[in-house]
A and B are shown apart, each in its own frame.
Chain A
């Protein structure tokens, strides 16, 4: 399967702990996005990479959040000192200028984070 993959699928942690999620985009896609989705809401944009460059960050991405895409392939999203309000589904998506055109982002299955 060559779709977007995310790991882990589920993460339960205690408040104050650090967590890291990984996203592997579709191999030929140079654009990678992170979104957060809480219950009953649509996904909210967090950040966007083109190759290894982080081009845009949402105000939702507080200083406890950091995302990287060191070699322009997979990406990691780290949350430090987790809070209960961080509990959500974290979605990764990828796209390519050549595949589908603007905005046709291919989403992964998400990582569901629960902070106790």
Chain B
């Protein structure tokens, strides 16, 4: 069975602080994809990144970066110099086999000015 754990329920930071959101996954499959989605207060899920199980290279996109470590089954997400607009719920997800996305329970990020 596949499982995604986001142990941090809520994180509060002040603007310009760096913040890391943790994601730990479980799967017996050797081929899988990991994702991060953002759900702002408006409610619509926004795709942020996909990483396949054979690519452990870290990725940076502007203020966002992702650290994928198969050895610890983790796919952590860091926001550098956070901004108020980053306030949202962030979901980590996993896909194996059929296209069913398994999500974690999410981490609510609150960035205050």
Contacts and interface: CB of A to CB of B under 8 A. Distances in A.
B91 A42 contact: yes
Interface residues of A, number: 28
A48 B100 contact: yes
| Listed residue (B35, B95, B101, B106) with the most chain A CB atoms within 10 angstroms of its CB | B101
A45 B102 contact: yes
A102 B100 contact: no
Contacts of A31: 99
A45 B100 contact: yes
B46 to A, nearest CB: 8
Contact of A43 (B52, B98, B103): B103
Contacts of A102: 33, 50, 52, 95, 99
Interface in B86-106: 91, 93, 95, 98-106
B97 to A, nearest CB: 9
Contacts of B4: 42
A55 B98 CA distance: 9
A42 B46 CA distance: 13
Nearest to A95: B99
A41 B105 contact: yes
Contacts of A89: 43
A40 B105 contact: yes
A110 interface: yes
A107 B44 contact: yes
A45 B42 CA distance: 21
Contacts of A95: 99
B106 A42 contact: yes
22 contacts: A33-B101, A40-B106, A42-B4, A42-B93, A44-B103, A45-B101, A48-B98, A56-B98, A91-B45, A95-B99, A102-B33, A102-B52, A103-B50, A103-B101, A104-B35, A105-B47, A105-B99, A107-B44, A107-B46, A109-B43, A110-B43, A110-B44
Interface of B: 4, 33, 35, 37, 42-47, 50, 52, 91, 93, 95, 98-106
Interface of A: 31, 33, 35, 40-45, 48, 55-56, 58, 89, 91, 93, 95, 100-110
